[in-house]
Structure formats: structure tokens, C-alpha cells
Amino acid sequence: MTPVLEVRDLHKVFGDLTAVDGISFSVNEGEIYGFLGPNGAGKTTSISMICGLLPPTEGEVLVMGLSIAEDPRGVKRLLGVVPQEVAVYEELSARMNLEFWGGIYGLKGKALRERVNGLLAQVGLDDRAAEPVKNFSGGMKRRLNLAMGLVHDPQLILLDEPTVGIDPQARHKILDIVKQIAADGRTVLYTTHYLEEAEDLCDRLAIIDHGSILAEGTVAELKAKLGEGSLLTVQGGFKAPELAAAAGAVAGLQPVEIIDGRGMLVVGRDGPGVSNALSGLFQAGLAFDDITIKEPNLEDLFLNLTGRELRD
Ligand SMILES: Nc1ncnc2c1ncn2[C@@H]1O[C@H](COP(=O)(O)OP(=O)(O)OP(=O)(O)O)[C@@H](O)[C@H]1O
Ligand SMILES: [Mg+2]
């Protein structure tokens, strides 16, 4: 299957600064692919090259097999961009903004009206459609900005940090809309510096910093690749030596702290896996009345890879 988006060895140099330093990845139909990186990582520069706004210094972008360098108009019809900065006309209503934008893509008459009505409903602005956008909250403007990128029903949607500066509830709405877009079979490239969003939303993600992809995969793959292992905490009516003996019999299970009635153990990433570790402990006949498993945190992983926090 041809990927919806294929990026090959993309570079962008601004004078002395290499903003994007050889990025390659591909995204399949219906996937949400995340670009997770701190300020200045090269997310927007990459998006700008992928959508044809900025010519790459080197490298290639293919959308459904079409090269953006060879067929920019063809590619632009296939993709929709939701820029990091909200770009709407404040004096116009939400409906007029969408009609204007749809007109640019050649929609008119009934088709345009129906499309705009559908989008207003999709982003939950149908009851405020007639008001000037300057009355809108930040979250509402973000939702309109999102709808503008969808007006020509693109196959691939590029979203550049669409939830920055809005409250958690408004963010939640945006994430739901993005999930729905992918469920409808559209493909999404989503940049963010919020770990929770990347975890919640993305099928796969790339951790990017200084213009390079440092790691790529599903959230589980990334954690498995770089995490220390899962932390298993058990409680029950056992004595410390009993648990120590049981844990000692399971290869790859390392005790962190064991006292009477309670133990903390790490299931190493090359170890037996959490369920095997647990069944090993059960086989020893210990009675547990509480078990918790804490997975390694992406934040730790990010810090580990980049030596810095995601947020400023
Ligand atoms: N037009 C430009 N001219 C010179 N340098 C630029 C230009 N655009 C971006 N840069 C630089 O390229 C680097 C990457 O910037 P970019 O905007 O792609 O980062 P980002 O990951 O989107 O960051 P943020 O999370 O802050 O939006 C930064 O160091 C930035 O200053
Ligand atoms: Mg940016």
C-alpha cells in the first residue's frame, strides 16, 4: 500500500542554522502520526516543507505517491493545513470564514453550503456560526481554524500544535475532533509538545529535537525501547523473605524494596513481561490483595533522549 505521506531525508538550512536535519518517515491511511518535540525542534519548519510553503534544502515529500516538487497543485488539493497561529478573519462570522475559504478551493452554491454546515457541526460551532469570530473564545477560534483546514475534504491533514494556549476542556474537544477525522479514514500529522496528547492521540510518533528524529514508534514501542521497565507493586499477607524468594525465582524481575506485606519490583525491559512475572509470583502461592503496575513515563524517556524538558 502506498503511504499517504512519505518524507525522505528532508533538510532545511537557514544560513548557519540547520532547522531540519534529515527527517524521514511515512504515514499510512487513517493513521495519526505525532511529531513530539520542544520549542525550536523543527516541527513547523517540517510542516511548512511538507505542505509546500517552504522549499526543502534537500529531500523529498510524496503525498499519495505524488511529489510536491513535481506536482505542487496536485499535492495541495490532497492536503489541508491547520497552522500553529490561528488564521481567521476576526470581523467575519465563522460561516463566512468557512465559505470564503471553501470558495478559494472552488466550492460554490449548494455544495459549499452543505460542506460548511457539515464542518460547523463537526467542530461544534453550528450554534455560534453567525457571530463575528472576534467574540469567540480561544478554543472556539482553534476549532474554526481546524475546520478551515478541512474545507476541501483533504486526505491528509497537517495540524501544527492545534491546542496551544487553550484550557483542558477545549483541548479535549479538539482531540475528539482529530480522532473522528482519523476514524473517517483521513490521515493526520499532528505536532505537539504535550506528551499526554501524543500518548492519547497518536498511533505512532516521532520524538524530534534539533531537526532530527531521535526515536520513532508506537507509545508502547518507545517505552519498551527506552524505559527501564514496569514497576510492579504488590501487597498482601506475606513475609518479606517469602516474596524475595518468589521474586528470585523469576528471571528478569528485580526487587527494589521488599518488606513484610509489601514489595516493589522492576520488570526489566529484557525481562519476562509483566504477566509472566505476575504468574511466577502467583505460582509461589503468595496471597496478594493489591497489585499495581506503573509503566515507564514518556516524560522520563524524553528527558533521557534530549537532555531537556518538553516545555519551556
Ligand atoms: N524563516 C526562518 N529563518 C531562520 N530561522 C528559522 C526560520 N524558521 C524557523 N527558524 C529556526 O528553525 C528552528 C526550528 O524552528 P521551528 O519553528 O520549526 O520549531 P518548532 O519545533 O515548530 O518550535 P515551536 O514548538 O516553538 O513552534 C528554530 O531554531 C527557528 O528559530
Ligand atoms: Mg512550531
Domains of the chain, by residue range, sit at 5-220, 228-295
CA angle 93, 96, 97 (to 5 degrees): 85
Query: Which amino acid residue places its CA nearest to atom 30 of ligand 1?
Result: 40
Tens-digit pLDDT profile for residues 27-82: 999 999 999 998 999 999 999 999 999 999 999 999 999 999 999 999 999 999 99
Tell me which residue has its CA closest to atom 5 in ligand 1. 14
* Ligand closest to the CA atom of residue 41: 1
pLDDT in tens, 194-223: 888 998 999 999 999 999 999 999 988 887
Q: What is the structure's pLDDT at 53?
A: 93
| C-alpha 19 to ligand 1 mean position (Å) | 6
Among the four given CATH numbers 3.30.300.30, 3.40.50.300, 3.30.870.10, 3.30.70.260, the one describing domain 228-295: 3.30.70.260
**Which residue's C-alpha comes closest to atom 25 of ligand 1?**
39
Q: Give the pLDDT means over successive 10-residue stretches in the chain (312 positions).
A: 94 97 97 94 96 96 95 94 92 96 93 96 95 94 95 96 90 94 96 90 94 91 71 91 92 86 84 83 90 77 70 56
CA–centroid distance, 210 to ligand 1, in Å, is 10
From 10, 14, 49, 214, mutation site for ligand 1 pocket: most ligand atoms within 8 A of C-beta: 14
> What is the model's pLDDT at position 257?
83
CATH dotted code for 5-220? 3.40.50.300
Nearest CA to ligand 1 atom 2: 14
Greatest Cα pair distance, the chain, in angstroms, is 78
Q: Closest Cα to atom 10, ligand 1: which residue?
A: 19
Nearest ligand for residue 43 CA: 1
In percent, how much of the chain has pLDDT > 70?
Answer: 95
Q: Nearest-CA neighbor of 173 among 148, 144, 214? A: 144
Please state the φ and ψ torsions of residue 303, each to the nearest 5 degrees. -60, -40
**CA–CA separation, 302 and 288 (whole Å):** 34
| The 66-67 sheet, strands edge to edge | 17-27, 5-14, 58-63, 66-67
Atom of ligand 1 nearest to the CA of 54: 1
